Structure 1
Amino acid sequence: MERGTGVWLTQTLDDLTRALGDGTRRAIYLWAREQHDVTASSVAAHFNLHPNVARHHLDRLVEAGYLAVVSQGARHQVGRPSKRYRAEGSRAPFEGLESQVELLAALVGGLLAEVPADRAARIAYEVGRAHGAALASTAVSESASGVMRAVATALRRSGFAAEADGTETIRQHGCPFGLLTEHYPALCATERGILDGLLDGLGDGTLDARPIRGTAGSCEVRMMAPPHRASRGTVTADGERAQTA
């Protein structure tokens, strides 16, 4: 990689980290993308924040280009006009990194080809589990539906296009590993690890999660009661959890 490209990439990642590295700000951004528009008051109420703190996060997201101010409120109202914020549809956090991503994918593929499949799956699982445990430290769940929302949010923050459908299924319309999983299924153990780490961290024993593999563009996670679940921490070479009697 040329030095100029390396400096640019480092600066891009630094900018991204400053804007979205804070967990609360990242959650606000993801929530704002799901709404038509938001205000400091609606964000404060949804995330249990002081309005000034919510306004600070929103203004930082505007400065970084992730949100835009679409309205200042009615001119005739008393006091400060209420800003309304909307996610910028054209904003792409990783715009310009396509070639780096392709290079990284080629590197990962080359490394995986040199590692036994069962070892690759184990490494992927442990990395995912540590990541899931870290996500659980900021998640809140007081019910089965809360667990569903926490799992869907954690998957989205990990690069999966996950959406809870209101039942026991979380549908995924995109995978951060893309087509690599078709050639190296051991990578799917990363998702298995994220789910186990998250559920263990939440301390909720009422639900377990089972990934249902489809294609790189369509997978599911089924939430179910855990009486006969497989042992966590054991995965097979194709990224599935090993079954126990």
Structure 2
Amino acid sequence: MSKPGQKVHNKIVFKEYNQKQLSLPIDLECLIPANHMVRVINSAIDQMNLEPLFAKYPGGGRSSFHPVMMTKLLVYAYADKIYSSRRIEKAARENIMYMWLCGGNVPDFKTINSFRGERMKDIILEVFSEVVELLIKQGHIKLENYFLDGTKIEANANKYSWVWGKSTKRYKEKLREKCKELLLYAQHTNDEEQNEYGDRNLEELGEEKPIDAKAIEEAVQRIDEKLTTNPT
């Protein structure tokens, strides 16, 4: 006999699967691991003095997405190796970590492009390099994984001492240099995407064509026929 919440199919027990049983709002906080990288970035940026960024907003007019939220989104995306504005928008819409970080806000790719290209451009290197240094120290990332040349930055976690060759100063200079390279790569990646898509978003959103129920039904029929005719 199957237990409550389970289904039996040919004596195989499956866990309950029912998309309609989900209820909103869901507390995303409880879904984020206690020591996840996103929490480190969230806490660090919350404590930063971002007055130079706030000064980029003239006031008046339409409301804007909060610059602290936008900074968290951009820095976390880069740390997560997501560089294109459309992919960042997609993450904010679909990825639990990003949804929690953004408080449910979903800025579109044009807003993300505008933010990093206009308001964030003068401080992104300083903010990102400091956060990356913190993430390395906390053991959340290895910077060599971000670069094709295999650059290595080492940290002695036990003594909290940082090493690049024999010089801490040299280490910080190299770290900043590599972060600058990464930001240039991110901009290049986004520029290429922008040239390809223009004002359009990712194809998966179906902006060009609505869902065709008849086409889906016909495809399912073909699959069912093949599975019935040639069962494995």
- TM-score class, shorter-chain normalisation, is under 0.3
More strand as a share of residues: 1
Larger radius of gyration: 2
Which protein has the bigger helix share?
Answer: 2
Q: What TM-score comes out, normalization by structure 1 length? A: 0.25
Normalised to the residue count of structure 2, the TM-score between the two structures is: 0.26
